[in-house]
Amino acid sequence: MQNDRRLAVLRAIVEDYVATEEPVGSKALVERHGLGVSPATVRNDMAALEEEGYITQPHTSAGRVPTDKGYRLFVDRLTTVKPMSQAEKRAIVSFLDGAVDLDDVVGRSVRLLSQLTRQVAVVQYPTLARSTVRHIELVQLAPTRLLAVLILSTGRVEQRLVELPAEVGEESLADVRRRVNRAATGEIIAEAVAGLGRLPDELPAPDHGITKAVVDVLVEAMQDHRADGRIAVGGTANLARYGDSFDSAVRPLLEALEEQVVLLKLLGEATSSGMVTVRIGAEGPYEQLSSTSVVTTGYGPGDDALAMLGVVGPTRMDYPGTMAAVRAVARYVSRILDEA
């Protein structure tokens, strides 16, 4: 019972400090949160929490503020992630539904996340190497020219012209289309490249030359890693609203936002879609960013996490609301990719 009450006191301190940015006193806690105990009891609980390192007193006669350890316990003991309001859900759907391609999806997602959380949003482009081939289409433009369309599970679409060594008829083209799809569809990029590479040797001339021309172009498209590791960032102006309290962390954070490698390390590895990870203060990979927290999750079609998205901000953030927004946007982006 005592531990439950102290956790309630800690939760109240975190919520008030996030909302007001002012150290929190026992009298204010009792008045605002209806804890059902006297200010003296709350003071005793606060003293115990301070002794255990969950809160600290910034200066004499002031109230208490949470420490990184306190934020960690608060996040770990969240029984439920704060639900999104119907208005927020509608905003996500209406904003993302109009996306026309992968670049548009990523761009809209980063803007939406920064608006919902009022933090800096970071979205990684899906990693090509971890995606699978959804479909290959071959469109005849002229007797010796095709348009090859490669559609990946990430929603990425690559189009390439194929110059053929000889004319190809409808029946032969249908056969080539069937063969390349059988070799590559559903396979990850590395396996698809290997399967396509074996195709020309299995066929007699002139089909060998035509198929090789198609395969060479498809393999080149699959091995084009220009989108890998790319990061979209939005909402850096939100840092200005934290004023002096976050001033010492703003410069290193702004510098970090300029470095793709740093951002990738901040986001972490994509493991599974749907799991929200919170790294608070010194738990992150960079000492100079120890005043910041990072809330991330993976996204991708089905249960596959092909990339990460999340937000970066001060440790004094609305964790339940931020976690809910990150999870909701990731789920919707995943659904878009699944339906692409």
Beta strand 55-56 pairing with 145-152: unpaired
pLDDT in tens, 189-223: 889 999 998 888 777 766 788 899 999 999 988 87
At 267, which amino acid appears?
Answer: L
Q: Which are the contacts of 99, defined by CB distance < 8 A and separation ≥ 6?
A: 105, 108, 336
> What is the pLDDT, as a whole number, of residue 131?
77
Q: How far apart are CA 316 and CA 299, in angstroms?
A: 26
CATH 3.30.390.60 assigned to 131-222: yes
Average pLDDT over residues 17-44: 87
Q: Does the CA dihedral 282-283-286-292 come out positive or negative?
A: negative
> What is the pLDDT, as a whole number, of residue 209?
86
Q: How far apart are CA 117 and CA 115, in angstroms?
A: 6
279: tokens are 């790294």
More confident residue, 337 or 41: 41
What residues does each domain of the chain span? 2-76, 86-127+229-339, 131-222
> What is the pLDDT, as a whole number, of residue 226?
47
pLDDT in tens, 269-298: 766 666 889 999 889 888 888 889 999 999
Q: The pTM is what?
A: 0.76
What does the mean pLDDT of the chain come to? 85
Q: Is the pLDDT of residue 132 over 70?
A: yes
Q: How far apart are CA 154 and CA 131, in angstroms?
A: 6
Q: Is the pLDDT of residue 228 over 60?
A: no
H/E segment holding residue 277: strand 277-280
Q: How far apart are CA 153 and CA 157, in angstroms?
A: 9
On the question of a common fold for 2-76 and 86-127+229-339, the answer reads no
pLDDT in tens, 33-88: 888 888 889 889 999 999 999 999 887 777 899 999 999 999 998 866 677 888 88
DSSP 95-161: HHHT--SHHHHHHHHHHHHHHHHSSEEEEEPPPGGG-BEEEEEEEEEETTEEEEEEEETTS-EEEEE
* Sheet of 133-142, strand order: 133-142, 145-152, 157-163
Domain 2-76 CATH (choose: 1.10.10.10, 3.40.50.1820, 1.20.950.20, 3.90.480.20): 1.10.10.10
The top-level CATH class assigned to 86-127+229-339 is alpha beta
Q: Is the pLDDT of residue 247 over 80?
A: no
- Neighbouring-strand partners of residue 147: 139, 161
Percent of the chain with pLDDT over 90: 39
Nearest to 309 by CA among 295, 321, 319: 295
* Backbone φ, ψ for residue 154 (5° rounding): -75, -10
* Backbone φ, ψ for residue 63 (5° rounding): -75, -165
